[in-house]
Structure 1
């Protein structure tokens, strides 16, 4: 796990010294992602520079140093992530004449690119990664991101220079990165609590989408962002929708017992691959189905007690720590738990803008940051249970959306259109639940529209951002699967391609890397995903039981009392915070005069919600939290830019 950064100029215009110094400055902004080593490589004539910060996980020796050059000198690479099947790839490459000086996956990855090319290599890789690869022969830069989007990668223009990096804070270090706020992208934050790829909070700046490759050269850079269309320029080497459609076209034909056996074998292998490291490895354990299954599969393949970590919340009725403690004792894990108070949680809030250098408003970021900090005291790598809900129908919102979609099917189309037109005039009132929320779905064209209504915070976010137009996302598709599969499949695909990488995996990446901890998610092994997509819904939900097949596999390792437990979210009491200790902080950030001076939000749209919330009239805390997260981020961003420009 590491951090990378760099730049590509449209023509050579900087000396080697200034190029190296600027690249190093960009890389050093990612110190938290890689405290163990750093490196810079530059080619003055080509106008390219790469920087790397290393968190040593495999091959702790200097032989794993990056940026790394291929054996023949053609490629130079800065790489963030892990290729879990690197040993198998190395075993294929050695008989083909490739020799290795160390045992890092970086060296194997470069040899594989030499042998098979970038596309085929990435298709052969089982891992999480973000890659910047300079081809000296073709004089072009390749950027790539793993299938699921576990590792982040941003790129954009600073003046006429292309800059890229694992986090925005690296791009900010370029003195010409004066890119203002993208108001259209901000509407996505208000709707979803995050900004999905390829959008970013900045104009002239983009995210790599999961499973994509991008080719850039001097001509591309010179053409500038106005000529760049990321949805077309970033081409897939693995496409989730196409792979789900293929899985649905060739469904699993066996019974549930056979499916249970196959899933157990797949998960054992996925977990085993992710336990390979030259540093201590542990597991985040909440006591829920997904993390419990990961912990059980780890312990089943370990000769030593697995390190497990959980946090509890003092005075909370949602405390899962006792469940995690009980399960860890049954498995024989070396368990560590920490009880935190409301004050402990609130102390994290001021750190969020620096931790998430793009505004991010999933409030579970706070407990996730706390458990990552706890785990880092004992291990350098921690496995998580992310992905189970999106692959195995784990969310109650899926059930509610299906229920509403079925109800709407009984309403005559003309009446639905009339009701939908009325609902469109409700604005944020449709967020308050009851009949208003149901009316908001009457104009739905398909399950995608119903589901978007279920997950949206602000219904009309553009009304709160003067001059903005609502930016589109995968959730705007009436049918995300384009006619294939069921409405249930369509909702899971939408979350897999958007909510999972841009919310859940972003949250885990930033909070874990803030403390130099690598997080791995075995349930998101691409083989597990494609197998899950081939399964009928009856293997995922039966009656009131969700994630049926995952629970059957878990039942092989723990007693039934530890399998069938109610789902609990990993959230935070934001409403209580805003009425309590965070009230002065929120008052300052939401001050009407401040909002008017800054000119980003409409005070007329924000202030009534704040006053109604304080008066107990509405539960507007979700609307307000994403506004507050932006406001806090904006203050941090302006302070960083002032420091860069003043240095």
Structure 2
């Protein structure tokens, strides 16, 4: 894993300052502390840079990016890992390719001239984001992996296109404007973002499974975006009506084992994250089964017993003989690191789980580990979230009698009472725009879209006026591919929507890459192997959720690995305890308010209404309302603080100057 950056000028004769490229690498030093590289193509208006985290081919000089082909046709800078690259490398070598490094990245430079981009991407397996300049076509390609595990941002300036692995990398370029826009601000306050967007005006993400192509023409730059992959569920009528359970159980086990084995490939030790869920327990169990030595298992513990999963995680570690490392966290410690987390997530967070994961990646780094396997993606593929069960009960079981439906739904709500207001809505919310695309408003979006009136009330009057006709549900729905929703089973639709919104915008961002790479730690989510994912879409809905049991087929596939307690347990969402749980947590949150969200600071930023914010916080502090109402208001307060920190860190701070200073301190010079 690494950090990438670059510039593509409209005018090829316009010079590029090499030190600027180095500065853009330096400000993402946390992504790649093991070295840096840069390359400027004179008279082509192209410059790339790279901050390196050494995991495969540890030879610093040999593995240094950017890579350029001998004929100088292609220039490449890449972030992430490609698996099964040894097999591809051997085939290419037999075809006459000559490799300069042992890096997995170099296969792209040999595949592209032989097969073109589309066929190249078909062969890439893993999590990656890369930029490649093709001199023959005079075009820049920005490519992101299928699920968006690795980040990649871009923007257009007066003189061309600037890209990078993080927003701060773009902001290190003096021509990139730094302004939080109305729509971006609104979506920060309601948690769920519009796919492909950011909080900042004119700053875009390359969407998962997409390519952005930038080509010079006589009239200027031509920018095109196209999708090369999507999660594609079968038509509802094509699902197996009378499935052979054993076939699906054995196939899931086989596919997951293969995905895990690929992700154990590294020239450094590989550990695993371990919570009390079957996802991480399955990954640890399979990793330990194929490893000669005890696998290092890293577990987060919380000071609130209702949210702490340490006991079950310990039971799993003991069962398989893993070497468990537990990091116990208190509320004060989490809130003390909230500001640093926002600097890395570059978006607001509704819960301090993102902080907890940043502190855990710091712990992993401190014991000299760079790589861990994680369980992200399992809930998305095998329908593990409570919101999926709710949608299944409501829309996916037409032949279920009313009484049984009520019993199952009541059980679901009782087992997830702690997470109502976040994972489940406090009351039903319908977005007409989303329902027109999907057929219903998936439960996963309802808690956050329901915050729309709260978010609107917190905006300054002028921003509120400019957004009076804005429909956040419509903005989100407009990004969906209708052809991926039409004719699908309701559960498939719900999973598709989550994958397109919450997975990429939350789980893989502030719960994944950004807080992991904050401490130079690479996370590998084996469940998001696209071969496994493509098989998972074909698992019949009634085997993903069987009666009241979520992830049924996965549980059965992993039954022999799991402790009995975990095998019989319903899904328990992994979250940090919210602030209203006790006075100590609330005091820690209020300390953040005093530091970043006083009336004077809010008025100075000019984004929010200081009086409305103060009243909201006072009401929440005095409230004796239901837990689920307070969970949601805790989230909104976290978002308000996050917005204020983002303004301070990314708008009010001179980031180009900060990046130059960072390069100087590191001794990184062109």
User: Structures share a fold, TM > 0.5?
Assistant: yes
CA–CA distance in structure 1, aligned partners of residues 573 and 239 of structure 2: 34
CA–CA distance in structure 2, aligned partners of residues 586 and 578 of structure 1: 13
Instruction: Confirm whether residue 278 of structure 1 aligns to residue 286 of structure 2.
Output: no
Distance 1:118 1:368, change over 3 A: same
Partner of 1:627: 640
Once the 2 structures are TM-superposed, how far is the Cα of residue 379 of structure 1 from its aligned partner?
A: 1.5
Instruction: Confirm whether residue 505 of structure 1 aligns to residue 503 of structure 2.
Output: no
Partner of 2:154: 155
Paired residues for 1:143-542 under 5 Å:
143-191=142-190, 193-219=191-217, 222=220, 233-240=224-231, 243-245=232-234, 249=238, 254-376=243-365, 377-403=367-393, 437-438=427-428, 445=436, 447-451=439-443, 452-456=445-449, 458-460=451-453, 461-465=455-459, 466=463, 467-468=466-467, 469-471=470-472, 472-475=474-477, 481-507=484-510, 508-542=512-546
Q: Is the 8 A contact 2:26 2:659 kept in 1?
A: no
Q: Is the 8 A contact 1:175 1:645 kept in 2?
A: no
Once the 2 structures are TM-superposed, how far is the Cα of residue 64 of structure 1 from its aligned partner?
A: 1.4
- Structure with more contact order per residue of length (Cα contacts < 8 Å, sep ≥ 6): 2
Secondary structure at the counterpart of residue 327 of structure 2: strand
Once the 2 structures are TM-superposed, how far is the Cα of residue 70 of structure 1 from its aligned partner?
A: 2.1
Partner of 2:73: 74
CA–CA distance in structure 2, aligned partners of residues 433 and 80 of structure 1: 32
TM-score (norm 2): 0.85
TM-score (norm 1): 0.88
CA–CA distance in structure 2, aligned partners of residues 306 and 220 of structure 1: 57
Secondary structure at the counterpart of residue 54 of structure 2: coil
Q: Is the 8 A contact 2:277 2:571 kept in 1?
A: yes
Distance 1:247 1:110, change over 3 A: farther
Distance 1:450 1:380, change over 3 A: closer
Spell out, residue by residue over 1:521-560, the C-alpha distance to the aligned partner (whole angstroms, 9 max, x if none).
Answer: 1101111111111111111112221111111111122343
Instruction: Confirm whether residue 551 of structure 1 aligns to residue 563 of structure 2.
Output: no
Once the 2 structures are TM-superposed, how far is the Cα of residue 199 of structure 1 from its aligned partner?
A: 0.9
Secondary structure at the counterpart of residue 304 of structure 1: coil
Spell out, residue by residue over 1:397-436, the C-alpha distance to the aligned partner (whole angstroms, 9 max, x if none).
Answer: 22334455589999xxxxxxxxxxxxxxxxxxx9799998
Is there any run of 5+ residues in structure 2 with no aligned partner, and where?
A: 401-419, 661-670
CA–CA distance in structure 2, aligned partners of residues 247 and 63 of structure 1: 51
Once the 2 structures are TM-superposed, how far is the Cα of residue 627 of structure 1 from its aligned partner?
A: 1.7
Paired residues for 1:578-617 under 5 Å:
579-603=586-610, 605-617=612-624
Is there any run of 5+ residues in structure 1 with no aligned partner, and where?
A: 411-429
Partner of 2:578: 574
Partner of 2:6: 6
CA–CA distance in structure 1, aligned partners of residues 37 and 286 of structure 2: 37
Distance 1:448 1:50, change over 3 A: farther
Distance 1:254 1:73, change over 3 A: farther
Secondary structure at the counterpart of residue 140 of structure 2: strand
Once the 2 structures are TM-superposed, how far is the Cα of residue 607 of structure 1 from its aligned partner?
A: 3.5
Secondary structure at the counterpart of residue 65 of structure 1: coil
Secondary structure at the counterpart of residue 17 of structure 2: helix
Once the 2 structures are TM-superposed, how far is the Cα of residue 104 of structure 1 from its aligned partner?
A: 1.1
Paired residues for 1:636-647 under 5 Å:
636-641=649-654, 644=657
Q: Is the 8 A contact 1:133 1:142 kept in 2?
A: yes
Once the 2 structures are TM-superposed, how far is the Cα of residue 222 of structure 1 from its aligned partner?
A: 4.0
Q: Is the 8 A contact 1:8 1:163 kept in 2?
A: yes
Spell out, residue by residue over 1:201-256, the C-alpha distance to the aligned partner (whole angstroms, 9 max, x if none).
Answer: 11121100000111113349945xxx86xxxx32011122xx22479746597411
Instruction: Confirm whether residue 54 of structure 1 aligns to residue 52 of structure 2.
Output: yes
CA–CA distance in structure 1, aligned partners of residues 298 and 341 of structure 2: 22
CA–CA distance in structure 2, aligned partners of residues 252 and 386 of structure 1: 29
Spell out, residue by residue over 1:588-633, the C-alpha distance to the aligned partner (whole angstroms, 9 max, x if none).
Answer: 5443444334321234543432221011155211222112111111
Distance 1:478 1:449, change over 3 A: farther
Q: Is the 8 A contact 1:355 1:510 kept in 2?
A: yes
CA–CA distance in structure 2, aligned partners of residues 441 and 142 of structure 1: 36
Distance 1:453 1:34, change over 3 A: same
Once the 2 structures are TM-superposed, how far is the Cα of residue 116 of structure 1 from its aligned partner?
A: 1.3
**Higher mean Cα deviation, 306-315 or 470-479?**
470-479
Q: Is the 8 A contact 1:83 1:127 kept in 2?
A: yes
CA–CA distance in structure 2, aligned partners of residues 37 and 646 of structure 1: 16
Distance 1:57 1:434, change over 3 A: closer
CA–CA distance in structure 1, aligned partners of residues 493 and 525 of structure 2: 23
Q: Is the 8 A contact 2:373 2:526 kept in 1?
A: yes
**Higher mean Cα deviation, 453-462 or 609-618?**
453-462
Secondary structure at the counterpart of residue 77 of structure 1: strand
Q: Is the 8 A contact 1:194 1:362 kept in 2?
A: no
Secondary structure at the counterpart of residue 186 of structure 1: helix
Spell out, residue by residue over 1:302-354, the C-alpha distance to the aligned partner (whole angstroms, 9 max, x if none).
Answer: 11111111121235332211211111111111221122223322222121222
**Higher mean Cα deviation, 297-306 or 566-575?**
566-575
Q: Say how many residue pairs are matched.
A: 616
CA–CA distance in structure 1, aligned partners of residues 624 and 313 of structure 2: 37
Distance 1:496 1:22, change over 3 A: same
